[in-house]
Chain A
Amino acid sequence: AQSVTQLDSQVPVFEEAPVELRCNYSSSVSVYLFWYVQYPNQGLQLLLKYLSGSTLVKGINGFEAEFNKSQTSFHLRKPSVHISDTAEYFCAVSQNTGGFKTIFGAGTRLFVKA
Chain B
Amino acid sequence: KAGVTQTPRYLIKTRGQQVTLSCSPISGHRSVSWYQQTPGQGLQFLFEYFSETQRNKGNFPGRFSGRQFSNSRSEMNVSTLELGDSALYLCASSLDLSYEQYFGPGTRLTVT
Q: Report A's interface with B, CB cutoff 8 A.
A: 32, 34, 36, 41-46, 49, 51, 90, 94, 96-107
Contact = CB atoms under 8 A, between A and B. Distances in A.
A43 B56 contact: no
Interface of B: 4, 31, 33, 35, 42-45, 48, 50, 55-56, 58, 90, 92, 94, 97, 99-106
Interface class of chain A by DSSP: loop
Interface class of chain B by DSSP: strand
Contact of A43 (B4, B33, B44, B58): B4
Contacts of A97: 56
A103 B45 CA distance: 7
B99 A99 contact: no
Given A42-B105, A46-B101, A101-B58, 7 more contacts: A46-B102, A97-B56, A99-B31, A100-B33, A100-B48, A104-B35, A106-B42
